[in-house]
Amino acid sequence: MNSTYIIAELSANHGGSLEIALETVRAAKRAGADAIKLQTYTADTITIDSKLPDFKINQGTSWDGRYLYDLYKEASLPWEWHKPIMELSNELGIDCFSSPFDFSAVDFLEELNVPAYKIASFEITDIPLIKYAASKGKPMIISTGIADIQDIELAISACREVGNHDITILKCTSAYPAMPEDADLIMIKDIRQRFNVKAGLSDHTTGIVVPVVSVAMGATVIEKHFILNKDIGGPDSHFSLDEREFKEMVEAVRIAEKSIGEVDYSIDDKKRQSREFSRSLYVVQDIKKGEILTSDNVKSIRPGFGLHPKYYYNILGKKVTNSLSKGTALSWEYFE
């Protein structure tokens, strides 16, 4: 099967430092990521500076009590950092693209010639944004998160209406962190079949089990938040993987890919050799010429050099044509 495309999500894990952001790219490369993903917005392009109740977070998250504008001002990646981050990514041979949050972000990212666009979970309902990004002809990766089936259909249609058919839908649970029991990974298969798109996972759980299992569900893309060091802190640090954890995930995903294999009932040389340890029919007591084969002197045992056990009842009661010692593998030539 094709290798799962693994994205390290930088998100807000830059600690307000370009050097931390650049070192995070290096660490993501070392950890085996195929891509590093940014988020392109400012507090003013994603919300407004308001202290009205609507703009105060009250969702049972670690961000509760904060206002949207203040959170996004802290979390946003300065736009002037994008170019050096992407240049370093190119040098290292790791893809770098971003999630735009408004038209100006798409225009900015087009100037940097990003290879793809990722639409974040909460933006799946922003059909004008999706259509504008898709119109640039780059692969589109869209997280479901808050979406119902109509939202997913609208997002896919928005891409296709502008001639973009390179669409990957990521099953996502918009909880931070998310619980494994809420992952519903079986939906990855359904998304692929129902909407005729590629499918994958954007994961917010705290471990690596969920993304590894997603491979068996057919995920072609896995996105996971990545942080250089959890001591950096920040809005996303508590559900991000550090370099060691991310590397463990990548290695486990690659093993999972190999383990899936293909449908094949044939017997290769390795299986054929292993069949020597299977059961077959053997003489378990000395038998004299002319005696009858019975359940006492013939049994199905290991190894597998004798007659197939399926012939057990066919041979019981037959008379042997010569003496057979204990441990003889039964063969048709030994009885009438």
Domains of the chain: 5-41+76-260 (3.20.20.70), 269-334 (3.90.1210.10)
Average pLDDT over residues 149-169: 98
Structure tokens at 14: 């830059």
Distance CA(318)–CA(332), nearest Å, equals 11
Segment 57-63 mean pLDDT? 78
Strand partners, 117: 98, 140
Q: What is the pTM of this model?
A: 0.86
Summarised one tens digit per residue, pLDDT across range 245-259 is 999 999 999 999 999
Higher pLDDT, residue 57 or 89: 89
**Contact call for residues 136 and 110 (beta carbons, < 8 A):** yes
pLDDT exceeds 70 at position 109: yes
Q: How far, in Å, CA of 41 to CA of 73, rounded?
A: 9
Q: 176 with 204: CB under 8 angstroms?
A: yes
2 — pLDDT class (breaks 50, 70, 90): low
| pLDDT tens per residue, range 250-297 | 999 999 999 998 888 888 888 888 888 899 999 999 999 999 999 999
Residue 175: band (very low, low, confident or very high) from pLDDT cuts 50, 70, 90 = confident
Q: What is the pLDDT of residue 190?
A: 96
In this prediction, residue 129 carries a pLDDT of 98
Q: Is the dihedral of CA 271, 276, 282, 285 positive or negative?
A: negative
DSSP for 176-218?
A: SSPPGGG--THHHHHHHHHHTSEEEEEE-SSSSHHHHHHHHTT
Percentage of the chain beyond pLDDT 90 is 82
Q: Give pLDDT, residue 1.
A: 42
Take residue 119 and report the two structure tokens written for it. 């639409």
Interval 296-316 mean pLDDT:
96
More confident residue, 21 or 58: 21
DSSP 100-111: E-SHHHHHHHHH
